[in-house]
Chains A and B, each alone.
Chain A
Amino acid sequence: MSDAEDRKLIRTCLKGDKAIYERLIEKYQKPLFNVALRITGDYEDARDITQTVFVNAYDRLRSYSPKFKFFSWIYRMAVNESLNVVNRKKLTVGMDRECVSGESTPEDDFRSNQSRQRVEDAVGALPLDYRVAVILRYWIDLPYRDIAYILDIQEKTVKSRLYTARRMLAEVFVKQGITTNE
């Protein structure tokens, strides 16, 4: 589904057809959930954030400007909401990167691959700004221009953060013996 199709769905939704919003949820729930999960490191938080973002986006559809891509607009909400959750946890009990969840299947899958887990943990240990840049670039597969819009920073700053993050990760990989063979 292209961005033009997104805009068409939004127009239909604004005319009162709520059911059409389901197609936007279907399309974006996985990347949004993953953005929230990677930033917060908490499965339940990610679930709540994803739901909140979709509901808030629906409430604010009228203020959506078609000059921006819908996914950039909604990812921006997800990133901000996730950063709020992380900052709030820092203020209260500190960031807990261990997933404590009653869920079994999806989270167990998430945790099952040890090699992937080590990479995930290394990214999770990055400073927040660098972590978010890596998440959006590699795991959501966004171009620099969209990341710059979502984070409200210049494109060159996105590149700089990503360059630094890769260098930091390279050092961690060496220390942890993460190699191409894993």
Chain B
Amino acid sequence: MSSDSKYMEFMQRRIDGELNETESAELDRYLQSNPAAQKTFKSLLLVSDKLAQVGQVEPPEDIRPKVLATIQAKTPVHPRSESYITALQMLWRRGGVRHAASFACGALLGLILFTLYSHDFTASPPDKSLLTGTILFNQDSAEFSLVNQAEFSLATTEGEMRIKRSGNMILAEIAVQSSHASDLILKSDSNYITILGLKQSGHPATGITMASGRIHITQQGQSNYSIAYREIEPGLSKIDLAIYVDSLVFTKSMSIANSGNVPD
């Protein structure tokens, strides 16, 4: 580090209150013997002072009531009654109840599986397709690959989703055929992932709007979308890719293994 850049850093750190006594004394000696550096330091101090003088703007008064009205209309985030859970726990400790519940769960699971495989997603809406897959991350090639691709098919809607990683970007490829409005949503563990760009081919879509991780499309017919997302989580371990079509939701949750081989 040259002398100039060293003292420039000292100046910046003094503004931030990060210089120790020794460094501070050294900077003072340097400034006393260097008028040009003194001038630079004064200009940096001025910037810092002026920035600190700019206050905050009062937000519009309608933000709070609008947000509250929106969330009041939603179902609770996690409705739960502690006493209710406690009562269930006490019931569970009784052997007969446990056996009966196990039998009921098995029967319910069997019914669900029978329904899924015998009707092939042709049930009346709202229907829900939840596919769980694993993205294996090969650290050498820095690429994601899906073990299972998400495909869905209904009387009025069908499509498929793929996701892969390219450098610092996550690329989602979505093909959907539907006469309904769609929302394409990609989320990571704790946040939506920033959309970098959208390429659309096939039938022209209408009314495309984009927000964080969400692309809303009013479209007729079939379209293919390539969406580039910025990877914002260094420790990203889970991605949810979802397509909301009318009242239906097709979701693919993908956990990321830290190492492993990409399957053939």
State in angstroms the CA–CA spacing of A87 and B80 once bound together: 40
Quick check: is A39 within 8 A (CB to CB) of the other chain? Answer: no
Chain A residues, Cβ within 8 Å of B66: 51
Contacts of B172 in A (CB 8 A): none
Pair B44/A88 contact, Cβ less than 8 Å: no
Q: A14-B77, A119-B50, A163-B12 are contacts. A80–B212 as well, Cβ < 8 Å? A: yes
With an 8 Å Cβ cutoff, the count of chain B residues facing the other chain is 54
Q: Which residue of A16, A116, A152, A174 is within 8 Å of B79 (Cβ)?
A: A16
Give residues in B with beta carbon < 8 Å to A.
8-9, 12, 15-16, 40, 43-44, 46-60, 62-64, 66-68, 70-72, 74, 76-82, 189-192, 194-197, 210-212, 232-234
Q: Which interface residue of A18, A19, A52, A107 has the most chain B CB atoms within 10 A?
A: A18
- B190 contact from A14, A32, A73, Cβ within 8 A: A73
Question: Which of A14, A52, A88 lies in contact with B210, CB distance below 8 A?
Answer: A88
On A, residues with C-beta under 8 Å from B are: 13-16, 18-19, 21-22, 25-26, 29-34, 37, 47, 50-52, 54-56, 58-65, 68, 73, 76-77, 80-81, 83-84, 87-88, 91, 103, 106-107, 109-110, 116, 119-120, 123, 134, 138-139, 152, 159, 162-163, 166-167, 169-170, 173-174, 178-180
Main secondary structure on chain A at its contact with chain B?
A: helix
Question: In the complex, what residue of chain A is closest to B197 when comparing beta carbons?
Answer: A91
A26 partner residues in chain B, CB cutoff 8 A: 64
Chain B residue at smallest Cβ distance from A10? B77
Assess whether B46 is in contact with A106, with CB atoms less than 8 Å apart: no
Of the candidates B15, B44, B57, B234, the one whose C-beta lies within 8 Å of that of A34 is: B57
Known: A30-B56, A138-B51, A173-B50. A54 touches B67 (CB 8 A): yes
10 closest Cβ pairs, A-B complex: A33-B59, A170-B43, A138-B51, A16-B79, A16-B76, A14-B78, A54-B67, A169-B47, A163-B12, A34-B56
- In the bound assembly, the distance between CA atoms of A170 and B40 in angstroms comes to 8
A84 and B191 CA atoms in complex are apart in Å by 14
CB pair B54–A138 under 8 Å, yes or no, is: yes
18 extra A-B contacts, CB within 8 A, seeds A87-B196, A119-B51, A139-B51: A15-B78, A15-B82, A21-B71, A30-B56, A30-B58, A34-B56, A34-B57, A52-B211, A52-B212, A55-B70, A88-B210, A107-B57, A152-B234, A163-B8, A166-B44, A167-B44, A170-B43, A180-B49
Chain B residues lying within 8 Å of A55, measured Cβ to Cβ, are 67, 70-71
Docked-complex contact A22 and B68, CB < 8 angstroms: yes
Q: Which residues of A contact B67 (CB under 8 A)?
A: 25, 51, 54-55, 58
Q: Is the CB of B43 within 8 A of A29?
A: no
